[in-house]
Amino acid sequence: MTAQSPRPSPDRALLMRRDVLTGVAGGLTAGVATLGVLANWKTHSRIEPPATPIVQIRSEPPAAPLKVWPGLDALGQRMIDTRAAPGLSLSVMKAGVLLYANAFGRARLTPRHAVTPRTGFRIASISKQFTAAAILLLAEQGKLHLDDPLARFIPDFPRAPDMTLREMLSHTAGLDDYLSGRHADMLTAAQTRDYTQQGLLEALKMAAPIFRCPPGVKWVYSNTGFALLGIIVERLSGMPFGAFAQHHLFDPAGMTRTALDPVVAADDDLCEGHRASRFGFGTVLPVSPSFAGGSGGLRSTSEDLCRWHAALLAGKILKPDSLAAMLTPMKLKNDNYALDRDYPAYPGYGLGQRLGLIGGRPVFAHSGRINGFTGQLLTFPLQQVTMAVLFNCDGANSGNFMPSFRALRSEALALGLAA
């Protein structure tokens, strides 16, 4: 359930590590993992730390007028005019200050309903970093350890003693993917019903095969692992996942338009999902938020997503050691890095975050794709620049979507870096 970014072809990837943690002014605790270079990741050469960067983000950045970037506006509008997407929302933030926020096109086609900066989009697998943060918060509270086996929390799941939470958080537990297209009948049924915790758990057990390989052997992207992690959050906290995230993640980050909705949400300012065809865009239904759960059930706005990464870096959500764990690339049992070799821009994976290099700069990011929706959230931590873009289409059947997205992203990041 992921929409991966375009595939640039650098031969090196710069990944996060946890050597040095820095604080911020004003007595607030914050942590940013020092960055190290995984030189020539194809041969898994060792990380060499560069000079220690000092990254500081103000606790409450002052409000500032939004930038006027006509070139970026033109690229956004061009995606609508060329039917690359029915609607999109784009925001850019630097050092906790929102520089740019704009919306283009329509949230719904019948009746026509314009996208605004407050319009909610399903964010699909961008949700995974929120699930990871929830697990890390429970670890800070002493309710779990990252190296606990799944059996401690869900003992009746197959092979639960064999995999750890850390492996599940980093896609190294060997689990298959219950949201795979192989399970078409189950996914269709999941579009129109809400699931209880037990109902979701039963669906995870029924999605054969459950495993692709033994834990710790290779990197295998799995929505199943993060759905199980969302269930663990509920069992340990005694709260629905959406309520836990609201209280412990969204509210501290100042996110006012982010939630895990029921199938029929009361909020009228939400997008419908769409897919292109030779007749134009048609409406498609994603699986229900309660079925995607901790793997991809959230909705948000591009502004809120920028606030989330700023809050992470400012220490408003996690303690320094927890943030460092999130941004540390996972290793396999053979001591090689767990790499997604299909995406060389950021082949490393921490806990709910992709890690890598774009244009010679370290980056942590995550993309998301689910029926009808696509998006990406990306941050250059040293430059403190974050970009979030959300689309109410999934990019399928459109040769124009990915080139247009690349151009839009490139311009947004260039302007943010230069600001």
Q: What is the reported pLDDT for 1? A: 57
| Assigned token pair, 68 | 């006027």
pTM (2 decimals)?
0.88
Lowest mean pLDDT segment, chosen from 36-40, 187-191, 310-314, 316-320: 36-40
The more confident residue out of 117 and 401 is 401
The DSSP secondary-structure symbol of 53 reads P
C-alpha–C-alpha distance, residues 194 and 33, integer Å:
39
Distances (CA, A) of 309 to 291, 314, 317: 25, 9, 10
pLDDT one-digit tens code per residue, 7-26: 332 222 223 222 222 222 22
| Assigned token pair, 356 | 């890598």
CATH topology for 13-54+64-359+369-418?
A: Beta-lactamase (3.40.710)
Cβ distance 79 to 85 under 8 Å?
A: yes
- Reduced to 3 states (helix: H, G, I; strand: E, B; else coil), residue 417 is helix
Segment 337-343 shows an average pLDDT of 88
Is the pLDDT confidence value at 313 over 80? yes
26: left (phi over 0), alpha (psi -120 to 50) or beta: left
Distances (CA, A) of 245 to 137, 210, 256, 361: 11, 27, 12, 30
Cβ distance 329 to 38 under 8 Å?
A: yes
Cβ distance 263 to 193 under 8 Å?
A: yes
- The string of DSSP letters for 333-381 reads TTSSB-B-TT-TTS-EE-SS-EEEEETTEEEEEEEEEETTEEEEEEEET
Is the pLDDT confidence value at 365 over 50? yes
The more confident residue out of 53 and 145 is 145
Looking at the DSSP bridge assignments, the partners of residue 357 are: 362
Q: Which pLDDT band, with edges at 50, 70 and 90, does 391 fall under?
A: very high
Q: What is the reported pLDDT for 349? A: 95
Q: Which residues contact 24 (CB under 8 A, 6 or more apart)?
A: 30, 56, 57, 58, 59, 314, 315
Is the pLDDT confidence value at 4 over 70? no
Is the pLDDT confidence value at 49 over 80? no
Q: What is the reported pLDDT for 11? A: 26
Q: What percent of the chain has pLDDT over 70?
A: 85
Is the pLDDT confidence value at 43 over 60? no
Domain residue spans in the chain? 13-54+64-359+369-418
Segment 82-104 shows an average pLDDT of 97
Q: What is the reported pLDDT for 229? A: 98
The contacts found for 180-188 with CB under 8 angstroms, 24 or more apart, are 180/207, 183/207, 187/287
Is the pLDDT confidence value at 126 over 90? yes
Q: What is the reported pLDDT for 216? A: 97
When the pLDDT of each residue in the chain is averaged and rounded to a whole number, the result is: 86
